[in-house]
Structure 1
Amino acid sequence: MDLHRLFSSERNLYKLVKKLLSEEGIKPKKKLSQTFLIDAEELEYLSSILRKTIDKQQCIVEIGAGIGNLTTYIASLNNDKIVVALEIDERFASVLRIIQEAFPNVDIVIGDALKIIPSMRGCNVVVGNLPYHITSSLLVAIAKSSFDLALVTVQKEVAERVVAKAGSKNYGKIAIFLQHLFEVTYVKTIPLYKFYPKPRVNSAIVLLKRKKAYDLMSQTLEHLIKCLFSFKRKTADKALKRCLKEFEASEKCRLQEIWRKRVYQLTVEELERVAIACMYANQKT
């Protein structure tokens, strides 16, 4: 069976996805945010980015393989790479086994990506249409893992948040945390009608390229911004006083040059300097 040919046009893809779901008796579950990209051009675009961006012989992890539409494209256009497709819903196992038999570079794993991602070794690229209900949790798990590159489709609103700059309305904890660890790029918007079942909102492709590993400083920053953004409209000086008491940190963490700024105006670089100052000051106490 030439699966790539079957998935080669939007019309074929839409019909094929509906047919496979019907034959397997699968009704997409809203609680799992199950929706499938049915636009051939977008699937090829995602797969071609991987082909151009990563080296040969690398391992690609796909989150939420579902019916296997993206899996098929990735495996076909990246046949020199191993594709490990994760899917939590056992109902898709039989369909995914057909893809595994058709492509020798595909491995199927039925399990929870949130539990699997933190312990994965040997794969440094992750891709997928992230389930809406756990998007933020998955992004954090990817950030704390050993993945060097992530190419993910998320809600457009989430994509706008992760690329937001200091002082903007969308700027917050997830933007700071991801931009601390990655070069974050908003690649493009995907309209909601290119999915089946059709979601309520548009989606967007985001590319994350690793800048640094998650380490002790990253952990300090993560806890710091969690506290600071509970007081995002307060001045940095007042917010830091409250947060440093919580962390039992030294007053030396309070950098004078940022005192008068509001918390939401602090750049990633400024917050990194605060985290480093706290680490250094506490080592001295």
Structure 2
Amino acid sequence: MAEKYNMKNPAVKRILQEVKEMQSNPSDDFTSLPLEENIFEWQFAIRGPRDTEFEGAVYHGRIQLPSEYPFKPPSFMLLTPNGRFETQTKICLSISNHHPEHWQPSWSVRTALVALIAFMPTNPNGALGSLDYKKEERRTLAIKSREAPPKFGTPERQKLIDEIHEYMLSKAPPVPQHSSIQLLEEEHSRDEEAESQANSHNPEALPAEEGIPDQAGDRIVEEEVVVDDNPQGVEPSTEIQSSVSRNQSPHNSGLRVQNLKPETRIQQKLDDHIFTLIAIGLAIAIVALLLKKFVKSSDQGPVFMDGS
């Protein structure tokens, strides 16, 4: 390979050094080699990051190194459908040619592949060449990625892709069989939590002068206002609580509202019953007193006036 290129070219020297380093220090998470006919074009494969929906997958891609490498960054594209990056489209990363201001000449193809793996589970945020598939869809693509390598380019490219695929399968662990079920359960749990949060009442969002009707009637009562301010155990009346709610000052605008507690309603009902019994007792006593006076006056007989 070296005989075909000018070894005085800084880019050629750097690339050949990286090829040697990649072969002498292989990784189970990725591998990459240049084409025999063009060392500025590399084929690579990365393993899906662990503990994510990509785990166990084998994703192929292509790296194009510029003639000014390593002083200018490479470009990347994925060839295997993955649900995170578009295929056969140059993707926008801080390590790619879309952001040359971030690139460091000390970085290498190895550095870029490690970074690419780290980017897989991150939020795409609408970046160029990014996708935002659901986790179960990405899991399905991850399983499918192991079946066969992608078809791309010339026979030489395809041969290298096939060799890389076999190597990665020999190093990659099997896709966890329970991952799909777990991901579906996680998605369902997140949907339920989001729905619960959307339906929950946000007390801070209420206007300062607005209250919530009590379910037992049309009363408006304060929440967390009358907590321990009634040592005699006498429950405040509905009218007083309604007045507090309606006349709430700007300084108290943060106060929240809620219905009376069940204990409060029970106590009010008991008070109503006691008041009714007292009223009935008083009415009976008055009737008995009047009856007694009437009977006494009847026992005295008629009174005649002297007509003289």
Do these two structures clear the TM 0.5 threshold for a shared fold by scoring above it? Answer: no
Q: Scaled by the length of structure 2, what TM-score is found?
A: 0.21
Which has more helix, going by share of residues? 1
Q: Scaled by the length of structure 1, what TM-score is found?
A: 0.22
- Structure of larger gyration radius: 2
Which has more strand, going by share of residues? 1
